[in-house]
Structure 1
C-alpha cells in the first residue's frame, strides 16, 4: 500500500500561530546543498529566490527537496507574476509563493486566482502528475488545495506603495513583503535603503498590512534596520542571504590572512 501523506503547515499557518516574529534567509546560490545548510541553521524561513538567482524549475525542486527534512518553512519567489510559472511552481511542491513587483490590487487578485483551482481561480489541474499532491498520496488534495498554499506579494515600487491598502485588502493575499532596495530605486534613491524617506515608506507599508490583518515582512540585512522594522510591526524579517554571507566571510578571511582586504563596500538589500 502507498504511504498516505499530510502536507506541512504553510507560512501563513506558522505566522498565525507563532509567538514571536519569524526570521529567514535567502537562498540565492541555486545550490541545493547550500539551501540545506541554511535550512539547518535554526532560522524559521528559507526563501528560494527565482527572480535574481541562477535557478530554473529543476533547481527550485532540488532545493525544496533538500530543505524538506528540516523544521523550516520554504518560501519560493517566482521570477514574475505569471499564471503559467505559478502553476509550475505549485505543481513541483512549492506551498508558499512570493510574487515580486505587485503594484495594484488587480495584480494581486490575478495571483490569488493563479494559486486556486476553478471555480475560485484558474490553476490548471495536474496534481496526479505532480509533487504538490505527492502523486495523489495526499488525500483529497484537490478539495483541500486552497488551504495548503499561502501567497505573499512584494511591495517594492512607489505605485505599489500608493496602492498598498487596496493590495493588502485583497482576499487570498496572506501577507506582504516590502523590498527596500527596489523601493528606494523607485523613489529615485537608488542604493539608499536607509534613507529616511525609504524607511518611512517601509513603515507605511507595514502599518497598512497590519491594519488589514496581514503579516508584513521586510528585507533587512542590517540588524539596526531589522530592529526598527520589528518595532514598527513587521512579523517576519529576512536577515541575510547565502551568497552575501559567503562573500563577506571570504573577504574577512582574506583581510585577516593576506591584509588589505577588499575595497568592496558591504552589501545591503
Structure 2
C-alpha cells in the first residue's frame, strides 16, 4: 500500500527533517539509514547502477521503517518514473532542472488525471486492487512528491519560473555541479556558489516551495535555518561510511601508538 508521505507532512508543518542519499545498491543500506533515525532517503539511480528489483526492495525496506523513499532518476523519462512510482516510490528527484517545462512534464508523468497523465495500475502502491482504486488515485496525487534539483547556472537564472510551476513540492540544491557550471569546480563554499544558492532558495521559499540543502560545512545548519530552511541532506551513505571508517582507523592507530608495550593486552591477565 502507499503510506502517507511523512516527509511531505513534516515540510507542511515546518518541522526539521534529515535525509541521506542511498548509493549502495542493497536493502541493507536502507536498514542502516532507517535504524539511524533519518526521515527520508533519496535512492540514487542517476550515478549508480541499480537493477529495478533491487530498487523495489530498497523502497520496500524504507516502508518498513516509515522512511520516505524518494528516487533520483537520471533524466525525465516518463516511463522510468512510472515504473519507480508503481514500485512504491513516494517521490521523484529530477537532476539538472533548468526550466519550468521540465517540472511541468514531470508533474504530468507523476500524477494521475486530472492533475497529470500517469498510467493507471493496480500494483503494490494500490494494494493490488484490494481497496478502492478511485480512492487510491486521489491519495497518490496527494502523496507523491516532485523534487527539482538546481545544479546549473541556467537553473538558477530560471528559478522564478521553475518554483512557480504547479505541482513542485521541493527544490534540492546541487552545489557540486553548480560550482562546475559557475567555473569553480568542487568549490561548493565559493562566494559565487553560495550567492547563487541563497538566491534560488529565497525565490523558492517565496513561492511556497520548500528548499533542501546539503550540510557540508561547519555552521551551514544555523545559517540555512535562519533563512527558513527545515529540510536537510547529509550527503550519501558511502561518504558517511568512508569517513567513519577512516576515523575509526585513525583512532585505533593513535591508541596503539600511545600504548605501553610492556603493559600487555588487558585480556592477557585473565588468560
TM-score (norm 1): 0.87
| Contact 1:47/1:77 (<8 A) preserved | yes
Partner residue in 2 for 1:265: none
CA apart distance, 1:178: 1.0
Say whether 1:171 aligns with 2:160.
Answer: no
CA apart distance, 1:235: 2.4
In 2: Cα distance, 1:106 partner to 1:180 partner: 22
1:1-40 maps to which residues of 2 (within 5 A)?
Answer: 7-9=3-5, 11-18=7-14, 20-40=15-35
Among 131, 135, 141, the alignment partner of 2:124 is 131
More helix by share: 2
CA apart distance, 1:56: 2.6
| Inter-CA distance 6–194: structure 2 relative to 1 (3 Å threshold) | closer
1:225-244 maps to which residues of 2 (within 5 A)?
Answer: 225-244=220-239
| Inter-CA distance 53–227: structure 2 relative to 1 (3 Å threshold) | farther
CA apart distance, 1:211: 0.4
CA apart distance, 1:99: 1.0
Over residues 34-55 of structure 1, what are the superposed CA-to-partner deviations in whole Å (9 max), with x where a residue is unaligned? 2111112122222211112231
| Contact 1:6/1:138 (<8 A) preserved | no
Over residues 214-267 of structure 1, what are the superposed CA-to-partner deviations in whole Å (9 max), with x where a residue is unaligned? 1110122334223322222222110232101111122223333457xxxxxxxx
Runs of 4 or more consecutive aligned structure 1 residues displaced over 4 Å after TM superposition: none
Say whether 1:198 aligns with 2:200.
Answer: no
| Contact 2:176/2:185 (<8 A) preserved | yes
Where does the alignment leave 5 or more consecutive residues of structure 1 unmatched? 260-269
Partner residue in 2 for 1:56: 51
Q: Which moved more, 1:139-148 or 1:45-54?
A: 139-148
Partner residue in 2 for 1:263: none
Say whether 1:182 aligns with 2:190.
Answer: no
**Number of corresponding residues:** 252
| Inter-CA distance 223–29: structure 2 relative to 1 (3 Å threshold) | farther
In 2: Cα distance, 1:152 partner to 1:66 partner: 21
In 1: Cα distance, 2:34 partner to 2:119 partner: 30
Over residues 127-165 of structure 1, what are the superposed CA-to-partner deviations in whole Å (9 max), with x where a residue is unaligned? 22x222121234322344311211111111111100001
Task: Return the index of the structure with the highest Cα Rg.
Answer: 2
In 1: Cα distance, 2:10 partner to 2:180 partner: 32
RMSD (CA atoms)? 1.8
In 2: Cα distance, 1:252 partner to 1:143 partner: 48
| Inter-CA distance 138–216: structure 2 relative to 1 (3 Å threshold) | farther
1:244-259 maps to which residues of 2 (within 5 A)?
Answer: 244-258=239-253
| Contact 1:178/1:219 (<8 A) preserved | yes
| Contact 1:101/1:154 (<8 A) preserved | yes
| Contact 1:10/1:95 (<8 A) preserved | no
| Contact 2:43/2:69 (<8 A) preserved | yes
In 2: Cα distance, 1:67 partner to 1:98 partner: 16
Q: Which moved more, 1:250-259 or 1:213-222?
A: 250-259
